[in-house]
Amino acid sequence: MKFSLEWLKDYLDTEASVTEIAAKLNAIGHEVEGIEDPAEKLAGFRVAKVLTAEKHPDADKLQVLSIDTGEGDPLTVVCGAPNARAGMKGVLGLPGAVVPANGMELRKSAIRGVESNGMMCSVRELELGDAHEGIIELPDDAPVGESFAQYQGTSPVFDVAITPNRPDCMGVMGIARDLAAAGLGTFKPVEVPEIGGEDPCPVAIRTDDPEGCPAFYGRVIRGIDNTRASPEWMQRRLIAAGQRPISAVVDCTNYLMLACGRPAHVYDVAKLSGPVTARRAQDGETMEALNEKTYTLDDTMTVIADDSGVHDIGGIMGGEHSGATEATTDVLLEIAYFDPEAIGVTGRKLGLASDARTRFERGVDPAFLDDGLALLTELIMQSCGGSPSEVARAGSPPSEAQVIDFDPALTRNLGGIDVPESEQRRILEALDFAVAEDWKVTVPLRRHDVEGAADLVEEVVRIHGLDQVESVPLPRAEGVAKSTASPDQVMERKLRRAAAARGLNEAVTWSFLPQGEADIFAAEGEPLWVLENPISEDLKAMRPSLIPGLLSAAKRNADRGADASRLFEIGRRYFSGKDGASDEKPTLGIVLAGERSERSWQGGKARGFDAYDAKAEAMALLEAAGAPVDNLMVMGEAGEQFHPGQSATLRLGPKKVLARFGALHPATLKAFDLDGPVVAVEIFLDAVPVKNASKGFARPDYTPPALQPVRRDFAFLVDQKLAAGDLIRAVRGADKANIVGARVFDVFAGQGVPEGKKSVAVEVVLQPGEKSYTDQDLKAISDKVVAAAAKQGAELRG
C-alpha cells in the first residue's frame, strides 16, 4: 500500500521525519518496502513563462518559444503543443533533466535548424496524469523560476506491506492510528460531515441475501457535473498511491477506499431499472465487469442487481453497463458490508482480483457504513456539485463487539516484557479498545484479527516495542544434550543425504494440486481431500501423491531447456478418510526425466531413464532408510499411472507395500504434457520398519574379516517367467551364516536352452570366519544353494 506523507498528516499531527516514520512503521509491524521522493524525479523542471510564440520557419506544426526561466536571458525552446502561446505559464525541463515518463535525458539540440534548450512538458510526460494533448498550463500566480517540485508540493511516498490480519490498516487513517499509539504524534480522526437529504432516496434498496450482504446503504445525488476533473490535491494523492485519476466520481470512491479502507461503488441512475437489490446470482447469469471481461456467475455468488440484470459482483467489481460517465447527472452511491468468506470464494472462482476484494475479503469496519457514505457524499458534492437524497438502509451490519477478559500479567508471561499496567491501558485505548476498570476489553468492530487475550498481548508488545523484548537463552542441562529427533525425523535426514549423494536434486512443491491432476493419482478406495476454501480454484485438492508436483517441475525444467531432471521430494500425501476424518502419510517421491547419459562417440545415442534406473534408486534409498532390502519381494504392477510390464512394487510380504517404481504410462505423461520416457518412484515411509535407536553414543568398532571372501558361480535353468529377484533371494537364504552376497551377472536364452526357459548365471560371495573353507565345506554350501534354487523351479546346468 502506498501513501504520501502529505496524506498521512491529514490524520496524524507529527513533526517526525520521513526516516523516523519509516523506522516506527517497521517497529510496529508494518514493513516499509520502499520510500520514493517524487521531487527527485522532477529535478531539473521549473515554472517558466512563455514570452513569445512564433511559427517555426521550417515546420508547420512547431513553434519557437522564448521562455523566461527567472534567471538570466530568455531561452529558446521548440514546441509542438497546440496550446503553447505567449503569456502562459508552464513547466520547462532544462537540459540534463530526465523525463519521468520515458527516461529520456533532455539536451540542447537543433530541431529543423532551430536550437532548442529544453522541453515544455505535458501532464503525461511528468507522470501526473494521462492528458497529453498539450503542455501543462499553470495559474497566472505561479512563481516563475521556482522548482516545479516545490511549487507542486510533492511529498515523499511510503510503500508499506500490510499483513493480511490487519485490514484496519488498509487505509491511511488506520496507519495513522497505529503511529499515534506508538507515540509518533497525535491521531486526528476523520471529520464526518452531517449531510441532510432533501428528499427520500428515489431508488429502492434492499438485500435479499442477508448472509452474503448483511447491510446495504445508499443515497442518490442529483444534478452532478462529472465532466469536471477531481481536485488537484486529490489527484496528487491518488497518483502517489499508484491510482490513475479517471473521473471525478470514480476518483472520490478510490480516495475514500485508500483513505479510510472503505470500498464503495457508484451507479448511473439513468441506467438502472427498478429497485437495486443485493441477491444471489442465478446459475449462468453473466456480467461485463469494469475490466471489460465477461464473467459467468453461479448461485453461490452475491451480486447487486435490478430488474434488468446484474450490475455488480458484490464487493469485488462493478459492471461496465451501469458505471458513471461524463454524461452522468444522477448517481446512486453504494456502501455495503459483504461477508468476507463469501467474497473470497467468489473471487477465487472467477479468478478476479481487485482492491475492493482485498479489503472486503480481509474484513472492513462494519461500523463505518453511515460515516463512509457521508464522507463519499461530501467528496462528490465538492468535486461535482449536486443535491443529495436521504439515506436508504437495507439490513444491518454486525454490531456486537467482542469483550475479552484480560489479565495485564499475561504481557510478561506471554510477551516476555514488563509493561506497566497504566501503559498497557494507554496503548489499548489509543488503538480504540475500550478498557474497563476490571480489565474487560471491548474490541473495535474493525479489528477482526483480535480474538483473545493473547492478541491483546501482541498489540501491547508491538506498540511498546518489540526491540525491548530481551533475548533470553533457553535453559540447558549439564552434559551432552541427547538427540531430540524422532526415529522418523532421523530417517528423513538420512534419506535426504542419500538422495543428494546419488545425484538427485531436492524439490519442494505445492501440497495442493488442480483437481484434474489429483484425480489421475487418486488411489482406489482413498477419496481425495478437497478443500472448501482453497487459496485458488486451481489448487483445491490436497495431493494424494508427490509425483504430480515433481512432474510439473520436470515439465518447467524441460521448457527451459534442461536436458534431464533428477528430482526428489520428501513430503506428505493427503487423504480424506471416513466420517470426514483426514490422514497424511510421509512419502519420498522421485522423478527421473530426460537423458540419463549424453550422446558420445563411445556410447552412441543419448540414453533415457528406464524402469531399472527407478528400481536402483528405490532399492538404494530403502537401504538408506534401514529397510531389510534383502527380504523385499518384487510384485505386481505399480498402478494405472505406470506403464504395465515396466513397473512393480517392493513389498515385505504380499500386503505390505514399501515402494512402487517404474516407467510412467504414456497417458499420464500426456496429461502433464511431457515427452517420455519418464520414470518415477514413491517410497511410503510410514510402511518402512524403523529400527530402535542405539542406546550408546558411539558406533561399534569396525572389524574387517581376517580372511578373504570366496566367490562361486552357478548357472541355473529357470522358467522364463521367474523373476531373477526371487532366485537371488532363495540363494542368499540358503546359508545365511556363510553367504554374504549374491547377484545375477548373466542371462541367456536361445541356442542350447530349452524353449520357455532361460539361463541365469549367479555369483555367490562366501565369507569364511575363523578358518578357511575346505573342499567339503564348499561342497556342502554349494549343495544348499542348488537345493534352495530348486525350490524356485531352477536346475543346475550341466
- Annotated binding-site residue? 637: no
Distances (CA, A) of 667 to 212, 670, 675: 43, 5, 11
Contacts of 529-533 with CB under 8 Å at 24 or more apart are 529/574, 529/575, 529/576, 529/582, 530/576, 533/341, 533/344, 533/345
Query: Contact at 8 Å (CB) between 19 and 40?
Result: no
- Annotated binding-site residue? 458: yes
Chain Cα centroid distance, residue 381:
40
Sign of CA dihedral 608, 610, 614, 619: negative
Q: What is the DSSP letter of 631?
A: G
Instruction: Tell me if residue 198 falls in helix, strand or coil.
Output: coil
User: What's the rounded Cα separation, in Å, for the pair 108 and 115?
Assistant: 7
Place of cell 536402483: 616
Chain Cα centroid distance, residue 544:
22
User: What's the rounded Cα separation, in Å, for the pair 287 and 283?
Assistant: 12
Query: Contact at 8 Å (CB) between 99 and 91?
Result: no
Place of cell 470500498: 263
Distances (CA, A) of 340 to 48, 212, 344, 356, 602: 52, 8, 6, 11, 65
Distances (CA, A) of 146 to 44, 101, 150, 151, 578: 11, 22, 7, 7, 76
User: What's the rounded Cα separation, in Å, for the pair 508 and 511?
Assistant: 9
Single out the residue of 341, 296, 282, 285 nearest to residue 315, CA to CA: 341
User: What's the rounded Cα separation, in Å, for the pair 567 and 506?
Assistant: 6
- Annotated binding-site residue? 326: no
Instruction: Tell me if residue 472 falls in helix, strand or coil.
Output: coil
Single out the residue of 25, 137, 36 nearest to residue 79, CA to CA: 137
Sign of CA dihedral 454, 457, 458, 459: positive
Residue 690 grid coordinates: 524403523
User: What's the rounded Cα separation, in Å, for the pair 698 and 316?
Assistant: 64
Single out the residue of 728, 585, 718 nearest to residue 659, CA to CA: 585
511: Cβ contacts below 8 Å, ≥ 6 apart: 542, 543, 571, 572, 574
Element (H, E) at 34: strand 31-36
- How buried is residue 712: exposed, middle or buried, by Cβ count under 10 Å (0-12/13-18/19+)? middle
Distances (CA, A) of 42 to 7, 19, 65: 20, 21, 22
572: Cβ contacts below 8 Å, ≥ 6 apart: 511, 584, 585, 586, 587
Q: What is the DSSP letter of 102?
A: T
Q: Which residues of 188-201 are buried (b: 16+ CB within 10 A; e: fewer)?
A: bebeeeebebeeeb
- Annotated binding-site residue? 459: yes
For every residue of 595-630, DSSP letters joined together read EEE--BTTTBS-EE--HHHHHHHHHHHHHHTT--GG
Beta-carbon-side half-sphere exposure of residue 146 (alpha carbons within 13 Å): 13
Residue 15 grid coordinates: 513533526
Q: What angle do CA 426, 427, 430 make, to 5 degrees?
A: 85
User: Which residue positions form the known binding site?
Assistant: 449, 455, 458-459
User: Which residue positions form the known binding site for Mg(2+)?
Assistant: 449, 455, 458-459
